């Protein structure tokens, strides 16, 4: 398989997931009282994207998909912040996935603690990120405090849904990646977590 073929496949999967993130984010919208933000189910797609696409493409899909949802839902002022925050969430969770790579068999129904920890840290980053975003947008550093527990709840629910789906989809393969050194060898039996581990190893080398 040629490198160009692999890159095109990555682009297609990432583009599709951008749409998935946007649609899921817009499917349930609950405005947060006393703030300019809203609660949604998009975080499930954010975390699942990192699992299926890897941390880099997952971050791209999470940031662009969530930012686009803000634009379409008339929360345009939040879009730049959302792009960065959601991309960071997917990247952080994707990085934690490597900690569980190879430790859980595909048929296992166990949820590695590293995945739970990754979701927890990503959720805290989101809660803090949106607090500062609204502080910057409104100039009020008190009112945005109301959004913190709501965002933590949102991230927790989205993370729980994503973890359950990951267990159900544990044998799903990620898009094939070019092997290091310009070769064309593709590992068709790699799981998502194994692919992430290989990706990070290549970056370090």
The answer for residues whose C-beta is within 8 angstroms of residue 59's C-beta and 6 or more apart is 50, 87, 88, 90, 91, 94
pTM: 0.80
CB 94 within 8 A of CB 55: yes
pLDDT single digits (tens) 75-93: 999 999 999 999 999 999 9
Q: Evaluate whether 123 touches 156 at the Cβ level (below 8 Å).
A: yes
CATH code of the domain made up of 3-204: 1.10.1760.20
Per-residue b or e along 49-75, where b marks 16 or more CB atoms closer than 10 Å to that residue's CB: bbbbbbbbbbbbbbbbbbbbbbeebeb
Q: What's residue 84's pLDDT? A: 98
How does residue 32 score in pLDDT terms, banded at 50, 70 and 90?
confident
- What does the block give as tokens for 43? 């975080």
Mean pLDDT, range 127-155, rounded to an integer:
94
How many other CB atoms are there within 10 angstroms of residue 110's CB atom?
A: 10
Residue 124 neighbours by CB under 8 Å, 6+ apart: 152, 155
Which residues face 39 on adjacent strands?
A: 30
Q: What is the C-alpha separation between 42 and 27, in angstroms, rounded? A: 9
Q: How confident is the model at residue 179 (pLDDT cuts 50, 70, 90)?
A: very low
3-state helix, strand, coil in the chain (%, to 5): 70, 0, 25
Helix axes 147-168, 42-53, angle to 10 degrees: 40
Domain map of the chain by residue range? 3-204
Among candidates 179, 166, 174, which has minimal Cα distance to 194?
A: 174
pLDDT of residue 16: 96
Predicted confidence (pLDDT) at residue 149 exceeds the cutoff of 50: yes
């Amino acid at each position: 398989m040629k490198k160009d073929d692999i890159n095109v496949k990555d682009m297609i999967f990432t583009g599709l997931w951008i749409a998935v993130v946007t649609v899921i984010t817009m499917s349930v919208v609950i405005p947060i009282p006393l703030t300019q933000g809203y609660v949604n189910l998009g975080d499930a797609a954010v975390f699942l994207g990192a699992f299926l696409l890897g941390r880099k493409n997952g971050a791209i899909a999470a940031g662009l998909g969530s930012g686009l949802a803000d634009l379409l839902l008339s929360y345009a002022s939040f879009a730049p912040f959302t792009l960065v925050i959601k991309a960071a969430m997917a990247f952080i969770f994707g990085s934690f996935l490597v900690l569980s790579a190879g430790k859980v068999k595909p048929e296992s129904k166990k949820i590695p603690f590293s995945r739970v920890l990754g979701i927890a840290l990503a959720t805290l980053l989101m809660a803090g990120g949106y607090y500062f975003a609204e502080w910057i947008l409104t100039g009020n550093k008190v009112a945005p405090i109301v959004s913190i527990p709501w965002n933590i709840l949102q991230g927790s629910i989205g993370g729980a849904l994503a973890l359950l789906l990951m267990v159900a989809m544990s044998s799903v393969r990620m898009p094939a990646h070019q092997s290091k050194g310009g070769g064309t060898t593709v590992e068709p039996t790699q799981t998502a977590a194994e692919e992430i581990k290989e990706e990070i190893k290549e970056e370090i080398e």
